[in-house]
Amino acid sequence: MEITRLALFSEFVGQLHPLLIHFPIGILLMAIALQFFQIFSKKDFNSSISILVLIGSIFAGLSCLAGWLLASTGDYNDEIVFFHRWSGIATFFLALTSYFWIRYRPFLFGVLLILIVLTGHYGSILTYGEGYFLKPKIDSTVIISAKNRRSLQIEKVQGETKAYFYPYEDQVVPILKSKCYSCHSIQKMKGGLRLDSEFFIRKGGKHGRIMMSGNALKSHLYTYLILPEDDDLHMPPIGKRQLTRMEIQLIEQWISTGAPFGEVEQKMVLASNDLTSSAIDLPNSDLILVEKQMDIAPLSPTDNLVLDKLKDAKISIVYSGSKNQWVSLNFINVKSDFNALLAQSKSIKTHVTELKLNNSDQMDFSELRDFSNLRILNLGHTNLKDDDVDNFQGLDQLEQLNLYGTKITDVGLMKLAECQHLKVLYLWDTKVSESGINELKKKRPKLKIESGQFTFKLADTISPKRLVSNK
């Protein structure tokens, strides 16, 4: 029991390190500035400088103690911690020495300034990752377009065109680098978790595995992203740069399609000889659903009250639009009263543009009819059958529909031809046939249909094989 209390106390003191560290830095820098001002002004500030140095030294010592305890959690890179720790301790002793050794204080302060900068440098690496100040601050999504991807390769074999691409390297890694590496990489391993290589992603962290290939809803790498921001498990934590909706969607898609770390092969038919045409775009890689500009009343106090009740029921809510008048509702954390909560959501139906209703086996699909502004609908692994598709006819704005893991057949598939605004349709692991898909493509040639017909080759994350186009 005493050991547990001591561990908790040590953890608490360790967490004070970020709070304590900035005060002595400011105080010591003020003392250094005053020392050099004294040299040029020929005035005596030694007493004031000594007071500043003494205060700075005391708090520097406390910061070193707290930092030592924080590093003992094992969440940080040992090599970087070593340099940060001992440069900090050297800063403490040098500051304390300058308090007593006034005669050589100008020289000592010069060395002290270098140590402060060096210690801060290693501290920034531990906190934000290597090269933080040199990192571009633009979203990683700017490099997702297939037309600009260096690794996409085209091969023609016996009249059949295949595309080879690398979704992990070209889609997932840029997102992880931008939003996750600062806490989960070789420099810093919060929760014992690293996300900077295939080996460590598969290994997981202190609390076990974070990913189940083929099932995003059972993968913490995805589910923690869509928790409410005020949830303790939400990632990235409050204060860190959050993933965009498109980035979360790419993570979900990558996991759902088997989480391939290497080369992915897709058979395709080119509409022309232009290899830069949209025909070679990765599945959904260029999908950016921009909400149309529509005249709509802002959310009223009554609407916000409804949203608060939905939040209390563990429904994740994301706001969008110029005035946050559009909402996305995610029911992934709802364990009961599914249909009742969906019916309750109808009171704000005109503001709802996205519904994620995965994993419900008792869903009443008639509740969907009134969501007239709905753009994205995810019904993966629900009890959907062919007759339930009739409820989609009134969804005139629907652009993306996910039906993976449902029992829909060719009969229900043909009904979707009437959804005129539908742009993307997911049909992984359903009862539809290839002939049914081909028939729908004849009626809706511009509709993108993702049926999961990919072949995943053995991953080679050390040196991925690059196929050269056969000309």
pLDDT in tens, 129-188: 555 555 544 443 333 343 334 444 444 444 444 555 677 887 888 888 888 887 887 767
Tell me the C-alpha distance between 471 and 341, whole Å.
57
Tell me the C-alpha distance between 24 and 94, whole Å.
13
pLDDT for the residue 12: 67
Taken as a whole, the chain contains a residue count of 471
What is the DSSP secondary-structure string of 254-290? HHHTT---S-EEEEE--SSS-TTSGGGPPTTTT---P
Q: In the CATH hierarchy, which top-level class contains the domain 301-422?
A: alpha beta
CA-to-CA dists, residue 58 to 30, 62, 121, angstroms? 15, 6, 21
User: Would you say 307 and 348 are in contact if contact means Cβ atoms under 8 Å apart?
Assistant: yes
pLDDT for the residue 187: 66
pLDDT tens for the chain, 471 residues long, are 444 565 566 666 666 777 788 888 889 999 889 888 888 887 888 888 889 999 989 998 888 888 887 776 555 656 777 888 898 899 999 999 998 988 888 888 999 999 998 888 887 776 665 555 555 444 433 333 433 344 444 444 444 445 556 778 878 888 888 888 878 877 677 878 888 788 888 888 888 888 888 888 888 888 888 887 777 788 888 777 788 877 888 888 888 888 888 766 554 443 333 333 333 333 333 333 334 445 577 888 888 898 888 888 888 888 776 677 888 888 877 777 888 888 888 888 888 988 988 777 788 888 888 888 888 998 888 889 999 888 888 888 898 898 888 889 999 889 888 888 888 888 877 888 888 888 988 888 888 887 754 433 333 333 333 333 333
pLDDT for the residue 462: 33
* Predicted TM-score (pTM) of this structure: 0.45
pLDDT for the residue 277: 30
Structure tokens at 127: 């906190």
Return the sign of the alpha-carbon dihedral for residues 100, 105, 108, 113: positive
Residue 170 DSSP code = I
Q: Where are the domains of the chain?
A: 2-134, 140-280, 301-422
